[in-house]
């Protein structure tokens, strides 16, 4: 008996060592997704509606090979594909009993049936035998047995021994014990009758019968047999993972039909942190501001890898449309696009210290943007305008840089959703009148974190970094980052203790649509970037909530957790940037009479061009001071207006505004005096280039302002 056992074990081990894989005899592998550490995320059924994980014989327990041969086809190693002895025995038994009581299908025939199912008829059986003979002629016994063990059904949506071993025992097929192998080998005869979960008694009886047959055939000795009988069943149906469902759906849709295991970039620890931050804040916002849903995306800046993807607050919330994926659903971004506009302006020579008008803006067609606080702040530096997210300066800046150039930059930054021509958006693009995806927005901010380098977001771990392109200069990107991280600069709008005031370097921006349907907050460190959207998937508006009170608290909590998980460092300024002291009111180098001064960053070759004369002139009280005080506040030099062909010409005008509140101010446009007097005067739009100025009487002498030049387009 020992010789027979040794021979059988030698044959099994030889088969297990066969290096060749017969891919055409095994089914396609199911898609199995895991996080970056190998923790399972999701397993999808293969085309045969079962979980399948084909492996080679060398990855299967030798006990499983022996048990399968003993249970299904003990002459497998000697017959040519059809066992004539078994066929004769089956015919005699079935004829004697008047019904089918015995089958004669070999392992090769069962594989042939799995590869090409046929009707259960005489001709179907004959075709099956013929196919089995052909299989034996073209493949080795090892290849056939491997194909069978990878194809056969083991019940509960499992096909093949690897999937079955993981499902019932939580181990790979190579680690199966003799008792476990005998149990699995008995299932294919009837996966329903011998279901180890629902029919444990029948499963155990079949297992004992196969162990007995292994003993009778001499494949095991008595002691091994008795030990196997005493082994506890230990069967449990493994719970299938269902982590990050929106992310897994995205991977499945974008993996190009790949099968098998895919190790993703997702980190379940980061995923839990992002989901928890969203859930915690929505629990408060839902009660107070009618905010019921949201989405969070976290990216690794170094690789573009997706670390966390929370598409909704609750995937199973049917009433809240939880299966909608907020990460890839287009929405209006509000002010969240402004950093890219300012980056473009800096690349064209603008300085963070430049003053820009935050006064009423009357554009062609009656377009009148308003700030979120519905106030005007006079002349403000570009740093303040971006940090405080003032709308009117952004529209002015968009008109100066050109909407076409701004749109081209956004498309270079990955905003493929902005697919309309520049004329469709107009200067309102600066305020987010197009629709973008959270995935696009977060990845574009990651480019700022990298110093202006854009990378595609990726979901597969170990994938080489590729597709990089520069969208902004390193200095311009850092200047934007410095402003977005300047707590003092944004204090006027958001206070000193806003959600963005974190105990580490953190650059962030919010966005809010004017109808309160979308709240955004995006923030980054050199290591990672987080994007947040909150709102309602049914389109209902939130109740008077801005990005700083809606999405920003989610971003803050997620950022604090990411700092714990991944750490962060300070942003490193490019060496070519220069620091200079400026007067905060004029944006120029401070003069002797300036009450205060602050540091500002400048691109090389763009240092302040003069010394502040504002305070010195005021202190001197000279006529020059009065002349300096007389200035046209609106429009400003270089403004461009467009006549709207769909609006009556009589309704299209701009309102000139003086810096002096003198009711007798006399206005002139193109050297023609206007009939209206005072600090404000209406002027009907006319095509062409124009100049405007006003004059007042000061000390008995006329005092004229410097003219401003502007253009009106048809």
Q: Could you give the residue range(s) of every CATH 3.40.710.10 domain in the chain?
A: 270-566
Most confident of 6-20, 357-371, 500-514, 611-625: 500-514
pLDDT band at 662 (very low <50, low <70, confident <90, very high): confident
Higher pLDDT, 515 or 470: 470
Q: What is the pLDDT of residue 83?
A: 80
pLDDT tens sequence across 574-593: 999 999 999 999 999 998 88
Higher pLDDT, 705 or 48: 705
Q: Which positions ≥6 away from 5 have C-beta within 8 Å?
A: 218, 219, 220, 221
Q: Could you give the residue range(s) of every CATH 2.60.40.10 domain in the chain?
A: 622-714
> Would you say residue 480 has pLDDT above 90?
yes
> Would you say residue 523 has pLDDT above 60?
yes
Nearest to 145 by CA among 221, 227, 81, 53: 81
Q: Determine whether 656 is exposed, middle or buried from the number of CB atoms within 10 Å of its CB (0-12, 13-18, 19+).
A: buried
pTM: 0.78
Q: What is the pLDDT of residue 96?
A: 53
Taking residues 638-662, report their average pLDDT: 81
pLDDT band at 173 (very low <50, low <70, confident <90, very high): very high
pLDDT tens sequence across 187-243: 999 999 999 999 999 999 999 999 999 999 999 999 999 999 999 988 988 888 899
> Would you say residue 508 has pLDDT above 50?
yes
3-class state of residue 480 by DSSP: helix
> Would you say residue 440 has pLDDT above 70?
yes
pLDDT band at 103 (very low <50, low <70, confident <90, very high): low
Token pair listed for 656: 């000139």
Beta-strand runs (E) in 75-216? 153-155, 158-159
pLDDT band at 85 (very low <50, low <70, confident <90, very high): confident
Per the CB < 8 A criterion, the answer to whether 532 and 290 are in contact is no
Per the CB < 8 A criterion, the answer to whether 510 and 389 are in contact is yes
Cis peptide before 599 (omega within 30 of 0): no
3-class state of residue 372 by DSSP: coil
Torsion of CA 560, 566, 568, 573, to 10 degrees: -130
Question: What's the mean per-residue pLDDT of the chain?
Answer: 88
Q: What is the pLDDT of residue 713?
A: 83
> Would you say residue 311 has pLDDT above 80?
yes
Q: What DSSP string describes 488-541?
A: HHHHHHH-TT-TT--SS--EEEEEE-TTSSEEEEEEE-SSEEEEEEEE-TT-PP
Question: Which CATH code for domain 622-714?
Answer: 2.60.40.10
pLDDT band at 353 (very low <50, low <70, confident <90, very high): very high
Q: What is the pLDDT of residue 342?
A: 98
pLDDT band at 643 (very low <50, low <70, confident <90, very high): confident
The distance in angstroms from the start CA to the end CA of the chain is 103
Q: Which residue's entry shows tokens 């769909």?
A: 646
> Would you say residue 18 has pLDDT above 50?
no
Q: What is the pLDDT of residue 546?
A: 77
Q: Which of 18-22, 23-27, 365-369, 435-439 has the lowest mean pLDDT?
A: 18-22
pLDDT band at 143 (very low <50, low <70, confident <90, very high): very high
Per the CB < 8 A criterion, the answer to whether 417 and 431 are in contact is no
pLDDT band at 653 (very low <50, low <70, confident <90, very high): confident
Per the CB < 8 A criterion, the answer to whether 475 and 487 are in contact is no
% of the chain at pLDDT higher than 70: 90
Taking residues 598-620, report their average pLDDT: 79
CATH superfamily of 270-566: DD-peptidase/beta-lactamase superfamily (3.40.710.10)
Q: What is the pLDDT of residue 129?
A: 84
Q: What is the pLDDT of residue 309?
A: 98
Per the CB < 8 A criterion, the answer to whether 547 and 510 are in contact is yes
Largest Cα span, the chain: 134
Q: What is the pLDDT of residue 126?
A: 80
Nearest to 134 by CA among 85, 80, 83, 87: 80
Most confident of 230-244, 523-537, 541-555, 682-696: 523-537
CB atoms under 10 Å from CB of 296, counted, come to 33
pLDDT band at 276 (very low <50, low <70, confident <90, very high): very high
Distance, CA of 297 to CA of 562 (rounded, Å): 12
Q: What is the pLDDT of residue 651?
A: 72
Higher pLDDT, 481 or 111: 481
Exposure string over 433-453, b if 16+ CB within 10 A, otherwise e: bbbbbbbbbbbbbbbbbbbbb
Q: Which positions ≥6 away from 479 have C-beta within 8 Å?
A: 343, 346, 352, 577, 601, 603
How far CA 712 is from CA of 399, 543, 640, 652, 689, in Å, comes to: 12, 39, 6, 11, 6
Alpha carbon 581 to its chain's center = 41
> Would you say residue 410 has pLDDT above 90?
yes
pLDDT band at 22 (very low <50, low <70, confident <90, very high): very low
Taking residues 56-85, report their average pLDDT: 91
> Would you say residue 534 has pLDDT above 60?
yes
pLDDT band at 23 (very low <50, low <70, confident <90, very high): very low
> Would you say residue 104 has pLDDT above 70?
no
Q: What is the pLDDT of residue 93?
A: 57
Taking residues 460-487, report their average pLDDT: 96
> Would you say residue 349 has pLDDT above 90?
yes
Q: Which long-range contacts (CB under 8 A, 24 or more apart) does 535-539 make?
A: 535/291, 535/293, 535/294, 535/326, 535/331, 536/290, 536/291, 536/292, 536/293, 536/320, 537/293, 537/312, 537/320, 537/321, 537/324, 537/326, 537/329, 538/321
> Would you say residue 82 has pLDDT above 80?
yes
> Would you say residue 622 has pLDDT above 60?
no
Distance, CA of 65 to CA of 182 (rounded, Å): 10
Q: What is the pLDDT of residue 625?
A: 43
> Would you say residue 513 has pLDDT above 70?
yes
> Would you say residue 8 has pLDDT above 80?
no
Backbone angles phi, psi at 546, to 5 degrees: -100, 175
Q: What is the pLDDT of residue 553?
A: 94
> Would you say residue 680 has pLDDT above 60?
yes
Distance, CA of 90 to CA of 498 (rounded, Å): 82
% of the chain at pLDDT higher than 90: 58
**Angle 161-164-168 from CA coordinates, rounded to 5°:** 140
Span 2-230 CATH architecture:
Orthogonal Bundle (1.10)
Q: What is the pLDDT of residue 4?
A: 53
Q: What is the pLDDT of residue 351?
A: 96
* Helix (H) or strand (E) run with residue 684 in it: strand 680-684
């Amino acid at each position: 008996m020992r010789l027979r056992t040794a021979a059988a074990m030698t044959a099994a081990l030889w088969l297990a060592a066969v290096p060749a894989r017969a891919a055409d005899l095994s089914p396609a592998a199911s898609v199995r997704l895991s996080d970056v550490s190998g923790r399972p995320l999701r397993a999808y059924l293969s085309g045969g509606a079962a979980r399948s994980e084909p492996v080679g014989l060398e990855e299967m327990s030798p006990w499983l090979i022996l048990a399968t041969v003993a249970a299904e086809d003990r002459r497998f190693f000697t017959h040519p594909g059809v066992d004539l002895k078994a066929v004769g025995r089956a015919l005699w038994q079935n004829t004697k009993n008047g019904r089918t009581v015995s089958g004669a299908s070999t392992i090769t025939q069962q594989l042939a049936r799995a590869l090409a199912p046929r009707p259960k008829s005489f001709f179907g059986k004959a075709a099956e035998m013929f196919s089995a003979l052909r299989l034996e002629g073209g493949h080795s016994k090892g290849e056939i047995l491997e194909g069978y063990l990878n194809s056969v059904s083991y019940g509960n949506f499992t096909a093949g021994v690897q999937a079955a071993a993981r499902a019932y025992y939580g181990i790979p097929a190579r680690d199966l014990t003799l008792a476990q192998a005998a149990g699995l080998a008995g299932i294919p005869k009837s996966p329903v009758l011998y279901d180890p979960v629902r029919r444990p008694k029948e499963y155990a009886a079949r297992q004992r019968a196969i162990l007995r047959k292994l003993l009778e055939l001499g494949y095991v000795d008595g002691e091994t047999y008795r030990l196997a009988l005493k082994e506890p069943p230990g069967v449990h149906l493994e719970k299938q993972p269902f982590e990050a469902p929106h992310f897994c759906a995205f991977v499945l849709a974008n993996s190009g039909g790949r099968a098998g295991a895919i190790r993703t970039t997702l980190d379940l620890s980061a995923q839990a942190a992002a989901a928890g931050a969203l859930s915690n804040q929505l629990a408060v916002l839902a009660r107070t501001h009618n905010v019921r849903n949201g989405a969070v995306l976290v990216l690794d800046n170094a690789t573009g890898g997706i670390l966390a993807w929370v598409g909704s607050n609750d995937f199973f919330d049917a009433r809240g449309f939880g299966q909608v994926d907020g990460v890839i659903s287009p929405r209006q971004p509000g002010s969240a696009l402004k950093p890219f506009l300012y980056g473009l302006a800096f690349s064209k020579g603008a300085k963070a210290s430049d003053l820009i008008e935050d006064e009423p803006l009357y554009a062609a067609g009656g377009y009148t943007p308003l700030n979120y606080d519905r106030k005007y702040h006079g002349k403000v530096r570009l740093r303040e305008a971006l940090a405080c997210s003032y709308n009117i300066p952004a529209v002015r800046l968009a008109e100066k840089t050109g909407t076409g150039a701004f749109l081209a930059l956004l498309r270079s930054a990955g905003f493929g959703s902005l697919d309309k021509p520049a004329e469709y958006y107009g200067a309102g693009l600066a305020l987010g009148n197009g629709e973008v995806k959270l995935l696009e927005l977060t990845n574009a901010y990651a480019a700022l974190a990298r110093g202006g380098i854009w990378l595609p977001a990726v979901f597969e771990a170990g994938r080489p970094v590729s597709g990089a392109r520069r969208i902004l200069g390193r200095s311009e990107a850092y200047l934007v980052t410095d402003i977005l991280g300047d707590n003092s600069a944004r204090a006027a709008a958001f206070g000193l203790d806003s959600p963005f005031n974190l105990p580490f370097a953190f650059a962030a921006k919010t966005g809010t649509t004017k109808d309160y349907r979308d709240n955004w907050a995006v923030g980054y460190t050199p290591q990672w970037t987080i994007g947040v959207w909150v709102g309602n998937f049914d389109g209902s508006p939130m109740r008077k909530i801005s990005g700083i009170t809606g999405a920003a608290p989610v971003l803050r909590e997620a950022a604090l957790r990411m700092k714990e998980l991944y750490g962060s460092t300070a942003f490193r300024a490019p060496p070519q940037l220069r620091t200079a002291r400026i007067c905060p009111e004029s944006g120029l180098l401070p003069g002797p009479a300036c009450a205060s001064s602050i540091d500002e960053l400048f691109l090389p070759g763009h240092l302040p061009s003069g010394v502040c004369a504002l305070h010195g002139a005021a202190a001197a009280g000279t006529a020059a001071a009065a002349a300096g005080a007389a200035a046209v506040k609106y429009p400003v030099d270089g403004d461009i207006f467009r006549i709207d062909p769909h609006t009556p010409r009589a309704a299209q005008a701009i309102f000139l505004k003086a810096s002096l509140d003198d009711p007798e101010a006399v206005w002139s446009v193109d050297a023609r005096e206007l009939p209206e007097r005072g600090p404000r005067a209406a002027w009907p739009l006319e095509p062409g280039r124009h100049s405007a100025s006003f004059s007042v009487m000061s000390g008995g002498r006329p005092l004229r302002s410097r003219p401003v030049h502007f253009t009106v387009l048809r």
